[in-house]
Amino acid sequence: MTRIRKKDDSSEVRSVTLVGLGWNVVLSVGKFFAGYFGGSQALIADAIHSASDFITDIAIIIGSKFWNAPPDADHPYGHRRFETLISVGIGLAVCAVGIGLGYNAVMALINGEQSHPEWIAAIMAAVSIIVKEALFRYTRAKGRAIRSEAVEANAWHHRSDAYSSIPVLIAVLFGILFPTLWFADSVGAIIVSCFILHSGYEIAWPGIHRVADMGASKEVAKKLQDIALGCPNVISIHGFRTRYVGSDLHVDLHVVVPADMSLLAAHDLAEEVERRLIDADENVVDALVHIDPYSEERVKRGEIKTLER
């Protein structure tokens, strides 16, 4: 038996992402011109990072239409895997940006390119830190509320931009206050690229695991097992398995019940186990319960491997 909870978060995803998109356009343009006229290579690099943010915003807005499409003959489990693929894509895009910016900064140091930033670059870097941190908190809260891994990945992209602006601000201030440190701005750009690479890894790696059908964490699995074991007339459970499809969690398990239980009672018990698992606030959208009648002989033969209360 199976019970499936339908979920469509496309409108919420687009709403929160459009907010980030608008701010990312403003910040990327502002930082680019402030870096150009303020003589800061590090701030221009940070502007490119912000530009990559609004590109991923667009990817999420478009992708949400795909992953919320209903199941069909070719995709009986739905299309939530698109959400994971977009999260991985965001992470890889962030890594590519970090590598490119780091390469340019290293070449600037090797070639002895001097930069002497001005106060407009420092002010813009400070504004970016404040705005991007606010965007991170807002987007993460919304992503957790609708349980969207792509939105949460995008939130951490905002946080990486906020973090990357910190060394930019420090490098620009050093360049302004200590003009002889001509290399400070390029060093700041290299530090920014390292932050960006780490952020890309943090975004992409969980998604790569989920593409490989990663199951729930031990804590979540234990909670769901306890819920199933807590149902009346459940003697034990076995064959418990979980896997993520996008941010949705699918569960299947065998439930051992008294052998003299009627077919109707066993059916109702399976329905109750399914309902409790889906209502467990762990984003379970699909629960499949197989009923096993208890038998001492089956236990001895190892046909029933019990996970008892």
Per-residue pLDDT reduced to its tens digit, 156-181? 878 877 877 887 888 888 888 888 87
Which residue ranges form the domains of the chain, and what is each CATH number? Answer: 2-211 (1.20.1510.10), 218-308 (3.30.70.1350)
What is the Cα–Cα distance from 193 to 153, expressed in whole angstroms? 18
pTM of the model: 0.58
Residue predicted with more confidence, 301 or 281: 281
Lowest mean pLDDT among 51-55, 84-88, 185-189: 51-55
263 and 291 Cβ atoms separated by less than 8 Å: no
Give the pLDDT of residue 48. 76
Give the pLDDT of residue 7. 52
User: In 3-state terms, what secondary structure has residue 254?
Assistant: strand
Per-residue pLDDT reduced to its tens digit, 129-138? 999 899 899 9
7 and 248 Cβ atoms separated by less than 8 Å: yes
| Burial of 76: CB neighbours in 10 Å, binned 0-12, 13-18, 19+ | exposed
The mean pLDDT value of the chain amounts to: 81
Sign of CA dihedral 209, 215, 219, 223: positive
What is the Cα–Cα distance from 24 to 20, expressed in whole angstroms? 6
Instruction: Band the pLDDT of 78: cuts 50, 70, 90.
Output: low
